């Protein structure tokens, strides 16, 4: 995800990084050249005049805009739900750390538990992005557990089980009373719910048929549009068609990109920064000096 301040409005007109332009440049170039050819031959196709007006395109444009609006809304809803789940993860990790650090028993050793919460955050990121299960877990969990995670498909669930066993042991030896253990178990359940919600988003894409219908309709509309405009606006047809095509193609590409918000594309969630934020917050609660959290770029970057 791009993390930087909002640029000046003039710079925003020419920004390329994160603007989807590089992904749809080929399609735009094709539509622009097709429009130029239509203008050159005055809307004729194999010596046959294509008699189209702007009226049908107005009707089709409204319907297509509704379909695109639904597509982008559904994709953004998935994106925002994923962001809320990661926000809930941060809240519950802080709650669990605070509860572990305030255990009244003399045998309480909360640091491994807090480090385990950091490990859960990184393991959740790894699973959602398809990374090796132990990436970023060095020094956060016992070595024997880390070796076991190499063979797990669902490493975050295994770490949650380890955290639950830590809590059970401290409840049995009197370090945590029954009420406190119950509250911490509830927070562990909330972490599991956040993990399950993210898995649901990652493993349930939008119906492929809807994507195919929208893709075909957008391209057919943009390819026929020059024939409907050439008689009314003449030489301006390629520019107008390119602008309309940019709107449709860019929205479609953006909806495809944020449909799965856990990737590494420019507009996906900044999971690395979120993991670093969780770790920094918990290390401060442990009284340690955390590493610096990634900050927005101070200088404007076009690329």
Angle, helix 21-40 to helix 208-233, in steps of 10 degrees: 40
Q: Residue 5: its pLDDT value, please?
A: 60
The span from the CA of 177 to the CA of 170, in Å, is: 9
Looking at residue 289, its pLDDT comes to: 83
User: Residue 148: what pLDDT?
Assistant: 92
Closest to 218 measured CA to CA, from 258, 253, 260:
253
Residues in the chain where the model's pLDDT stays below 70 = 1-18, 43, 45-51, 104-108, 293-303
* Angle at alpha carbon of residue 236, lines to 214 and 238, rounded to 5°: 40
Express each pLDDT in 116-136 by its tens digit: 999 999 999 999 999 999 999
Residue 221 CB-half CA count within 13 A? 26
Q: Say what the pLDDT of residue 294 is.
A: 63
Q: Name beta bridge partners: 44.
A: 49
What is the pLDDT, as a whole number, of residue 103? 77
Model pLDDT, residue 156? 95
- Exposure b/e, 157-186, CB count within 10 A at least 16 = b: bbbbebbeebbeebbeeebbeeebbeebee
Q: How far apart are the first and last CA of the chain?
A: 14
Per-residue pLDDT, 144: 92
Q: What pLDDT, on the 0 to 100 scale, is given for residue 301?
A: 41
Distance, CA of 42 to chain centre: 45
What pLDDT does 299 receive? Answer: 39
pTM of the model: 0.83
């Amino acid at each position: 995800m791009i993390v930087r301040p909002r640029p000046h409005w003039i710079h925003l007109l020419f920004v390329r990084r994160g603007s989807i332009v590089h992904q749809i440049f080929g399609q735009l170039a094709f539509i622009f050249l097709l429009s130029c050819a239509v203008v050159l031959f005055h809307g004729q196709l194999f010596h046959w005049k294509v008699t189209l007006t702007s009226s049908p395109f107005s009707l089709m444009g409204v319907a297509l805009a509704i379909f695109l609006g639904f597509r982008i809304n559904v994709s953004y809803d998935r994106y925002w739900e994923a962001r809320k789940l990661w926000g809930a993860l941060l809240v519950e990790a802080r709650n669990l750390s605070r509860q572990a650090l305030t255990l009244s028993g003399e045998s309480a050793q909360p640091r491994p538990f807090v480090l385990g919460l950091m490990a859960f955050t990184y393991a959740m990121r790894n699973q959602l992005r398809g990374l090796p299960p132990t990436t970023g877990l060095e020094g956060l969990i016992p070595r024997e557990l880390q070796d076991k995670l190499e063979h797990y498909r669902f490493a975050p669930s295994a770490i949650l089980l380890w955290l639950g066993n830590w809590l059970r042991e401290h409840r049995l030896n009197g370090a945590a009373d029954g009420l406190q253990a119950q509250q911490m178990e509830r927070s562990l359940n909330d972490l599991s719910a956040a993990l399950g919600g993210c898995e649901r988003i990652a493993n349930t894409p939008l119906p492929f048929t809807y994507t195919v219908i929208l893709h075909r309709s957008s391209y057919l509309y943009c390819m026929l549009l020059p024939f409907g405009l050439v008689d009314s606006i003449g030489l301006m047809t390629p520019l107008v068609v390119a602008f309309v095509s940019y709107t449709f193609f860019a929205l479609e590409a953006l909806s495809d990109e944020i449909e799965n918000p856990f990737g590494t594309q420019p507009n996906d969630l900044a999971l690395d920064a979120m993991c670093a934020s969780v770790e920094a917050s918990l290390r401060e609660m442990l009284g340690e000096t955390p590493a610096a959290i990634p900050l927005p770029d101070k200088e404007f970057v076009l690329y």
